[in-house]
Every structure is written in structure tokens, then in C-alpha cells.
């Protein structure tokens, strides 16, 4: 392996026909380059999409009341399902498989916006909601100033609010401290106790920066909503699935509101765990496809190396015959040809991998933090080592047939050939 003569011979063979060597190596280079680019791009897409969940608990789901679609127990269809604080208490007692049960209300309903003022400043695109402290365990937010709402705020129905960073930008001067100041929501004043931001922003959660969050009990009282609850955010315990907990919660609420067990439209819902699993499955399929396409392209280059090595062996028939005539063993002949193939594919593959990684770094730097659903395209160390292993193994395979042919050369016939 460390015989200087062998390395000089390899250099002589590969440099004898530079153009042919470069064209052969390019097939392997391009195969490895494409494999790295495809794998890195897939990882970038996965990171962007999965990162859009942020600190959101994927083992959670949401439930809200809709209207019944099936008559049941004397009630006609079309009855509106309205959740209340009593439902919350029942869920907390009976839904033992849930880690967090967080009721929520939003002023004007889901996705509604409201006009909010503070002195001469105003904004009309803000969402106003009533929450409980536990919602942080499901949809975490970064508190950049002040604090989050706590249980005392709920118990005492304090008129306090945590505002998003964009709300602060609109209602306050750049260098102004919003903590302790008051904002006006439909004629009711709330004191700002905190400012929240997001660890990661994407299309689906960027609007949260324009949200104003108040204690649920305060919200119900201030806006005359009595004990009404808009929807529930529920997180399953670690020893169960969100789907199982959702089914149990639906059964509890269905019985409480006299809903037919067959009425799937009366209670709306969205299961984050199901969506997360679908996305994970999709990316697993994409990953497999990337490997198939990349390795197929790589093998095409390796086959080219094998074909070229066959030509090289044919050109060196007399040389091989002389070596065998003076005592070279079949092992030396075979190992020499295989080593030449490994060196050629290894160098070409390493350069292809390096070029692919370099291009991914350039793309990543150019996109920066505005990447959105495509973020940090790259390959990890394990994948890189796997690629190199494939190259070395492929190089060995590429040299087996030419090496076998070289080892079978008859010295007498080889010396007589022209």
C-alpha cells in the first residue's frame, strides 16, 4: 500500500491520457456532486418546514365547537356547539391522559383583527385573545420584555396584556419602554406587562407578532362573554398519542352537549401530531428518492470507470505479461488495478462532495435568515462519511472486472501480442 513504486505507477497510468482520465473522473464527480446537492436541499427543506413548527408541541391538538349535522335526542341539526368553563373543568377531571388543557377566546373570532389605540398611536390589524398561562407549554413564545401572564392574573381578573413585538413597534416609540403603559381595546384599558417575540418566524406564525394576549378570565369579563370558551389547545402526555387523547376528549364533549356519536362535524379539530407525522413520512420518502437518484447517478460514473479500466488493462497487456513472467503474483496484479480504480473514483468523488458542500454553503449564506421554508441546506458528518465509504467501495467494485481480466493474462500470449 505504501510502496512508492506502486504510487508512481498509478500516477503514470492516470496521467498517460489526461483527457480520458478527466472525462472518466467527471462522471464520478458529477454523481457525487448531485448526491450531495440533492441530500443537502432535502435537508434544507426539512429544516425549514419542521422549523416552522418552532417550539410548538407536536403532540397536541385543537378543538372548537361548530354546528351539529345530525338530529339527536330531540334536537334538530344545526344546533351551535358552545364550550364553557364547565367543559374546561370536566375535561381537567376526566381527561387524565392530557398534560395540558388550555382554553382560549379570541375577540371577534378566529383570525379576526381589532382596532387598538394608545394616545395618538393606533393599529387595526391586531388579534386580541384571552389565554391561560399553560398555553406556553404548547405554543412557546420568547418573552423579550417583562413577563408572561400567571395564575394570579387569572384569579384576580387583572386587566393586563402581553403584546407582540410588532404591536410594540406600532404603539410605542423605538426607545420607549412599554412595560406599565396602557393600551385601549374597544374602550377598555389594559396595562402592558410583557412583550413576546418568536424564536423562528414563518408564514404560518408570523401573525402572532401582532397578537395581544390577556388573562382568559379578564377577557371573558371585560368583553361580556360570560363563561364562554372559543376553543381548546390540548397536549397529550408522553406515554400516549395526541390522536388517542383527542378521541377521548371528543367523547367527553359529545356526551356533555348531546351530540350524536356519528356527528363528526359538530366539533371541529386539528391534530398537530397527525400533520407532523404526515410531513415526516413525506420527507422520509423524499430522502429515499434522493438516495436512489443520487446513487444511480454515481453508479453510472463508476461503470464508466470500470469500462475505462478495461481499456487500460487491454493497453497494458504486454506490460502485465512481462510482470507475470518475472514473478508477479495474481494478487499483486489484481490489487494494483483495484487500487488504481479506487484512487480515481476516490479523488473524483471527494472533489464532487467538496464542490457540493461549498455550493450549499454559498446558497445558505446568500439566503441568510430570510430562507423561510428552505433553511440551512447542508449534509451532516455521518452522511459525508457514508458518501466517502460508498466511493471507496464503488471504486473497488469498478476495478474487480478489469483486475480479474488482468490476472488471467497468459504471459506467453501477452508477450507475443502487438
pLDDT (tens digit, 0 to 9) for every residue of the chain, 418 residues total?
A: 455 656 666 666 666 777 777 877 787 888 888 888 888 888 777 777 666 655 566 788 999 999 999 988 888 888 899 999 999 999 999 999 999 999 999 998 877 888 999 989 998 889 999 999 999 988 888 899 999 999 999 999 999 999 999 999 999 998 899 999 999 999 999 999 999 987 655 445 567 889 999 999 999 999 999 899 999 999 999 888 888 999 999 999 999 999 998 998 999 998 888 877 777 788 788 888 877 877 777 777 777 777 777 766 666 666 666 666 666 666 666 677 777 778 888 888 888 888 888 888 888 777 765 555 667 777 877 877 787 787 777 777 777 766 676 666 665 555 555 4
Residue 418, Cα to own-chain centre: how many angstroms?
A: 62
Grid cell locating 72: 339527536
pTM above 0.75, yes or no: no
Contacts of 227 (CB under 8 A, 6+ apart): 84, 85, 86, 220
Gap between the Cα atoms of 293 and 286, Å rounded? 10
Distance of CA 397 to CAs 70, 337, 346, 394, Å? Answer: 67, 11, 12, 5
Q: What is the pLDDT of residue 203?
A: 46
DSSP string, 239-281: TS-HHHHHHHHHHHHHHHTT--TT-SSSEEEEEHHHHHHHHHH
Q: What is the pLDDT of residue 292?
A: 82
Q: What is the pLDDT of residue 327?
A: 65
CB atoms within 10 A of CB 158: 18
Instruction: Give the three-state DSSP class for 79.
Output: coil
Q: What is the pLDDT of residue 58?
A: 76
Gap between the Cα atoms of 224 and 10, Å rounded? 86
* Domain definitions of the chain by residue range: 4-53+277-416, 82-256
Instruction: Give the three-state DSSP class for 66.
Output: coil
Q: What is the pLDDT of residue 33?
A: 87
CB atoms within 10 A of CB 305: 26
Contacts of 32 (CB under 8 A, 6+ apart): 298, 301, 348, 349, 350, 351, 352, 353, 356, 387, 391
* Cβ-contact 167, 213 below 8 angstroms: no
Gap between the Cα atoms of 258 and 184, Å rounded? 40
With both helix axes pointing from N to C terminus, report the angle between 272-315 and 242-256 in degrees, rounded to the nearest 10.
Answer: 160
* Cβ-contact 124, 113 below 8 angstroms: yes
Amino acid at each position: 500500500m505504501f510502496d512508492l513504486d506502486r504510487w508512481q505507477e498509478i500516477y503514470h497510468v492516470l496521467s498517460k491520457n489526461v483527457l480520458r482520465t478527466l472525462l472518466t473522473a467527471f462522471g464520478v464527480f458529477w454523481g457525487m456532486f448531485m448526491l450531495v446537492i440533492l441530500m443537502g436541499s432535502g435537508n434544507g427543506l426539512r429544516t425549514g418546514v419542521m422549523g416552522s413548527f418552532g417550539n410548538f408541541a407536536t403532540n397536541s391538538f385543537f378543538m372548537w365547537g361548530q354546528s351539529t349535522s345530525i338530529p339527536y335526542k330531540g334536537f334538530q341539526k344545526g344546533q351551535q356547539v358552545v364550550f364553557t368553563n364547565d367543559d374546561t373543568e370536566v375535561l381537567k377531571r376526566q381527561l387524565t391522559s392530557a398534560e395540558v388543557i388550555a382554553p382560549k377566546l379570541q375577540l371577534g373570532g378566529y383570525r379576526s383583527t381589532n382596532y387598538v389605540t394608545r394616545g395618538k398611536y393606533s393599529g387595526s390589524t391586531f388579534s386580541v385573545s384571552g389565554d391561560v398561562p399553560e398555553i406556553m407549554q404548547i405554543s412557546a413564545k420568547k418573552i423579550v420584555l417583562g413577563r408572561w401572564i400567571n395564575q394570579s392574573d387569572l384569579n384576580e381578573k387583572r386587566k393586563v396584556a402581553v403584546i407582540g413585538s410588532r404591536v410594540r413597534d406600532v404603539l410605542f416609540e423605538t426607545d420607549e419602554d412599554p412595560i406599565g403603559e396602557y393600551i385601549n381595546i374597544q374602550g377598555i384599558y389594559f396595562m402592558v406587562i410583557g412583550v413576546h417575540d418568536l424564536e423562528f418566524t414563518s408564514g404560518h406564525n408570523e401573525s402572532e407578532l401582532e397578537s395581544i394576549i390577556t388573562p382568559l378570565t379578564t377577557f371573558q369579563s371585560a368583553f361580556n362573554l360570560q363563561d364562554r370558551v372559543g376553543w381548546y389547545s390540548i397536549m397529550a402526555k408522553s406515554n400516549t398519542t395526541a390522536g388517542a387523547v383527542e378521541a377521548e376528549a371528543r367523547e367527553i364533549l359529545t356526551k356533555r352537549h348531546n351530540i350524536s356519536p356519528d356527528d363528526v362535524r359538530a366539533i371541529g379539530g386539528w391534530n398537530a401530531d397527525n400533520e407532523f407525522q404526515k410531513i415526516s413520512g413525506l420527507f422520509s420518502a423524499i430522502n429515499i428518492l434522493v438516495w436512489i437518484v443520487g446513487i444511480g447517478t454515481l453508479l453510472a460514473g463508476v461503470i464508466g470507470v470500470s469500462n475505462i479500466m478495461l481499456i487500460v488493462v487491454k493497453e497494458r497487456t504486454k506490460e502485465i505479461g512481462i510482470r507475470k513472467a518475472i514473478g508477479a503474483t495474481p494478487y499483486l496484479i489484481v490489487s494494483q488495478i483495484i487500487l488504481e480504480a479506487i484512487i480515481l473514483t476516490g479523488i473524483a468523488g471527494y472533489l464532487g462532495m467538496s464542490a457540493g458542500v461549498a455550493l450549499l454553503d454559498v446558497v445558505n449564506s446568500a439566503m441568510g435568515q430570510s430562507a423561510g421554508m428552505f433553511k440551512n441546506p447542508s449534509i451532516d458528518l455521518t452522511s459525508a462519511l457514508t458518501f466517502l465509504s460508498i466511493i471507496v467501495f464503488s471504486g473497488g467494485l469498478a476495478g474487480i472486472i478489469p483486475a480479474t481480466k488482468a490476472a488471467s493474462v497468459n504471459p506467453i500470449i501477452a508477450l507475443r501480442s502487438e
